[in-house]
């Protein structure tokens, strides 16, 4: 069965404010969907609803053939929804390499075994090494995770997500706060993830050049509602986006 992720009439209210308003949308494997819209449109809230950080007021979310609306965030992660978090899952006193190895170990289900040192698990070590190379952190492997530069921390977040081998990759402004020379590595990384046509990739992004270079599809949220959905060229050119959403917000125009 083809992997699908779908929200139906997904809604969340904060007091009287409807931050996400009856959003129905489905996401397909092999497609990177960028979620754009002005500040406060509900993009991050929509992400939080999908990954389980927030509970919907109404509506449903289905994933891989099951209703996950009431599933906790950790169970959604286990089901295959991966989200790059700002290193909250990190062991701060361990090195970059040790953190990635632990994430690989967690994914493999291998537990600490006195009689079989983890170093004997060549397969897991090789997997962690491959991920470190993919995110271009091989040369930083020995340093403490918390002393990484901002850009390298974002790469480590992606590495930890990759280690869990999710079916869905969710990126919330992956290049935010990065220096100009750090951005291409992360874009290249996401571009390479796209080559695996079995994965669903979601991206919340303000920078339209990033969206243009990566997205196969764009959806636009405004005041919590889905107001446009289509191929990047069409959506970007549509009057509703040009006039109301992309042309006037400084962050999206940047
Ligand atoms: N926990 C919360 N409690 C109350 N209001 C909230 C909460 N989370 C978000 N909101 C409100 O919901 C609306 C949508 O916020 P959200 O952060 O999802 O927008 P966004 O599109 O991601 O914006 P930005 O591009 O600025 O990050 C905003 O008006 C915000 O103030």
Ligand 1, residue 37: give the atom nearest the CA.
Answer: 21
Task: Give φ, ψ of 73 to 5 degrees.
Answer: -60, -45
Q: Tell me which of 34, 43, 45 to substitute to probe ligand 1's pocket, judged by most ligand atoms within 8 Å of the beta carbon.
A: 45
Order of strands across the sheet that contains 81-83: 81-83, 168-172, 200-204, 31-36, 217-222, 225-230
Identify the CA nearest to 246 among candidates 95, 20, 36.
36
DSSP string, 62-95: EETTEE-TT--HHHHHHHTEEE--SSTT--TTSB
ipTM, two decimals:
0.96
202 close to 214: Cβ distance less than 8 angstroms: no
Domains of the chain in start order, with CATH, are: 1-80+166-254 (3.40.50.300), 83-165 (3.40.50.300)
Best residue for ligand 1 mutational test, from 12, 18, 23, 44 (most atoms within 8 Å of Cβ): 44
Q: Give residue ranges with CB within 6 A of ligand 1.
A: 14, 17, 19, 37, 39-45
Q: Which two tokens mark 150? A: 């901002």
Residue pair 232/211 in contact by the 8 Å Cβ criterion: yes
| pLDDT of the chain, 254 residues: tens digit per residue | 688 999 999 999 999 999 999 999 999 999 999 999 888 999 999 999 999 999 999 999 999 999 999 999 989 998 999 987 655 567 778 899 999 988 888 887 666 555 555 566 778 889 999 999 988 899 999 999 888 888 888 889 889 999 989 999 999 988 887 888 888 888 888 998 888 899 999 999 888 888 989 999 999 999 999 999 999 999 988 877 776 555 544 444 44
């Amino acid at each position: 069965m083809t992997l699908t992720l779908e929200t139906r009439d997904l809604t969340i209210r904060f007091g009287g404010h409807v931050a996400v308003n009856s959003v129905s949308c489905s996401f397909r494997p092999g497609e990177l969907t960028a979620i754009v819209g002005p500040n406060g449109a509900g993009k991050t809230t929509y992400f939080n609803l999908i990954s389980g950080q927030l509970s919907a007021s109404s509506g449903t979310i289905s994933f891989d053939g099951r209703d996950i609306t009431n599933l906790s965030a950790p169970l959604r992660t286990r089901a295959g929804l991966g989200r790059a978090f700002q290193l909250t899952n990190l062991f701060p006193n361990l090195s970059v390499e040790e953190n990635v190895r632990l994430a690989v170990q967690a994914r493999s289900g291998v537990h600490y075994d006195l009689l079989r040192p983890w170093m004997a698990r060549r397969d897991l070590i090789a997997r962690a090494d491959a991920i470190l190379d993919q995110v271009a952190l091989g040369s930083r492997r020995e340093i403490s995770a918390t002393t990484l530069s901002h850009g390298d921390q974002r790469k480590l977040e992606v590495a930890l997500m990759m280690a869990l081998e999710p079916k869905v990759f969710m990126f919330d402004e992956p290049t935010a706060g990065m220096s100009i020379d750090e951005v291409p590595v992360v874009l290249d990384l996401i571009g390479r993830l796209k080559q695996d046509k079995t994965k669903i990739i979601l991206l919340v992004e303000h920078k339209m050049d990033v969206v243009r270079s990566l997205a196969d599809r764009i959806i636009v949220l405004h005041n919590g509602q889905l107001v446009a959905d289509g191929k990047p060229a069409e959506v970007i050119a549509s009057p509703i986006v040009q006039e109301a959403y992309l042309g006037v917000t400084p962050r999206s125009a940047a």
